[in-house]
Structure 1
Amino acid sequence: MEIRRLQTADASAYRALRLRGLHEHPDAFTSSFEEESLRPLADAEKRLSATAHEKFWGAFVNGVLAGMVGLNQETRLKNRHKATLVAMYVADEFTGQGLGRALVDNVLQDARTSGIEHLILTVTDGNRQALALYERAGFTSFGTEPDAIRVNGISFGKTHMYLHLKSS
């Protein structure tokens, strides 16, 4: 396994894996397969272009992009101490191999290096595997947003979690 920052050259693999995750697990993401599949490859290239406030990492197994995660740092003056862990996904055939934890650890390391003090994220209610991963990494739940997303008319809540990096 290799974990590294995704770059513009990875856009095609990133887009394919993202669409797969959105299609196979529609309740796990706020974005939808239907909307994202209409976006051109150029949107993925732009998302992966190097910026200080949005970064993505990929987990590669034998050269194949098997998982990914993003970090979006707040840009407004009053919120720059915070960032959001986003778009976490590991392809089903690669789960249980430590890729998810390795991706989260990379985000935590980068956040600390960048001076971020608080990380936040959301997990769809019922996604016990993701919840357990984030709890093992030190995240704590601070509430649930009921009816946060709807997939095919079915309502799902989102558990909000945070990690204070200064003391961890």
Structure 2
Amino acid sequence: MQIRRLTSDDAVVYRALRLRGLREHPEAFTSSWEDDERKPLAASHARLQDPATTFWGAFDGDALVGIVGLERLRRPKERHKAWVVGMYVPVEDAGRGIGAALLQALCAAARDEGLRDLLLSVTDGNAGALALYRKAGFAVVGREPRAVLVDGRFLDKLQMHRALD
């Protein structure tokens, strides 16, 4: 398995894996499959070229088997922080350490950039993701009730934080 930063050359495989995650796990993401599926491939190219956002991919040969992103905050007083976004590993690849390897690469790069804090949100009840994030050093610091509405159900999001220094 190889972990590397994604480039706009990876837009096709990135888009396909992202859409799969949104379709199969709508409760895990604030983005929706319906909205993202309508966006052109150019939107994925643009996202992978945005200097404020970096994505990493896990590759098994040529197959993309996991993704995670880092969205830096832009306001001067918040530039020491970034959000971990878009984490997804397909069920058939779970248990191989892919999520942990992606988070390790993201945290190392964030630290190298001088970032000091990472934030993320995880849907309450997603025990696997919560365990992964805790193992990577994140701690729950809050809860947003009714954060997302999926199929007529309100779901809470747990807010997590990890200091890098």
What range is the shorter-chain TM-score in? over 0.9
- Using the alignment, how far apart are the partners of 1:118 and 1:23 within structure 2? 30
Map 1:1-150 → 2, pairs under 5 A: 1-49=1-49, 51=51, 53-150=52-149
Q: Percent of counterpart pairs with the same letter?
A: 50
What SS is found at the alignment partner of 2:38? coil
**Runs of 4+ with >4 A deviation:** none
- Using the alignment, how far apart are the partners of 2:151 and 2:50 within structure 1? 35
- Using the alignment, how far apart are the partners of 2:106 and 2:72 within structure 1? 11
Give the aligned length.
Answer: 165
- Using the alignment, how far apart are the partners of 2:53 and 2:27 within structure 1? 23
Matched letter for residue 47 of structure 1: R
For structure 1, the 5+ residue unaligned runs are none
- Using the alignment, how far apart are the partners of 1:132 and 1:155 within structure 2? 22
Matched letter for residue 127 of structure 2: R
What SS is found at the alignment partner of 1:150? strand
- Using the alignment, how far apart are the partners of 1:142 and 1:42 within structure 2? 36
**CA offsets 1:10-50 (integer angstroms, 9 cap, x no match):** 00100000000000000000000000001000000001116
- Using the alignment, how far apart are the partners of 1:96 and 1:133 within structure 2? 11
RMSD: 0.7
The answer (yes or no) to whether the contact 1:7–1:50 under 8 Å persists in 2 is no
The answer (yes or no) to whether the contact 1:122–1:161 under 8 Å persists in 2 is yes
What SS is found at the alignment partner of 1:163? strand
Q: TM-score scaled to structure 1, two decimals?
A: 0.97
Q: TM-score scaled to structure 2, two decimals?
A: 0.98
